[in-house]
């Protein structure tokens, strides 16, 4: 891929993910990239394995990006990934090397209701 603008590459990646364009979705990764899911303890080595496990996902997926921020070789995306109608707040941390993602770590969390006892201190969260 080799893109001098990581933000633009990330935006193309998530747009391709939403569109179901597997080739474009995975163009961001180096051949030897690693994808880690710390919560499940899984590690996928190589663009081919990353694409393979995503391409065989049984759920219908939707991607809504809340924001992208970073600089240099470290970029973070906050998004909601919905699997068959069930949303998960997701954080994707991408580390670039020579214009391609060398390491991505993703964290997933189910939404939860705000606790009433905190209401006096809270305001509505504004997304990036």
The pLDDT tens digits of the residues spanning 25-71 come to 999 999 999 999 999 999 999 999 999 999 899 999 999 999 999 99
Domain annotation for the chain: domains and CATH numbers: 6-110 (3.10.450.50)
pTM of the shown model: 0.90
- pLDDT tens sequence across 72-88: 999 999 999 999 999 99
| 86 burial type by CB count under 10 A (0-12 exposed, 13-18 middle, 19+ buried) | exposed
| 108 burial type by CB count under 10 A (0-12 exposed, 13-18 middle, 19+ buried) | middle
């Amino acid at each position: 891929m080799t893109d001098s603008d990581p933000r633009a590459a990330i935006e193309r990646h998530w747009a391709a993910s939403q569109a179901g364009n597997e080739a474009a979705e995975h163009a961001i990764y180096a051949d030897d990239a690693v994808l880690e899911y710390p919560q499940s303890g899984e590690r996928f080595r190589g663009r081919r394995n990353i694409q393979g496990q995503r391409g065989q996902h049984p759920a219908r997926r939707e991607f809504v990006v809340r924001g992208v921020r970073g600089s240099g070789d470290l970029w973070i995306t906050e998004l909601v990934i919905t699997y068959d109608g069930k949303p998960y707040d997701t954080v994707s941390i991408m580390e670039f090397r020579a214009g391609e993602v060398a390491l991505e770590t993703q964290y997933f969390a189910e939404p939860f209701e705000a606790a009433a006892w905190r209401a006096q201190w809270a305001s509505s969260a504004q997304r990036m």
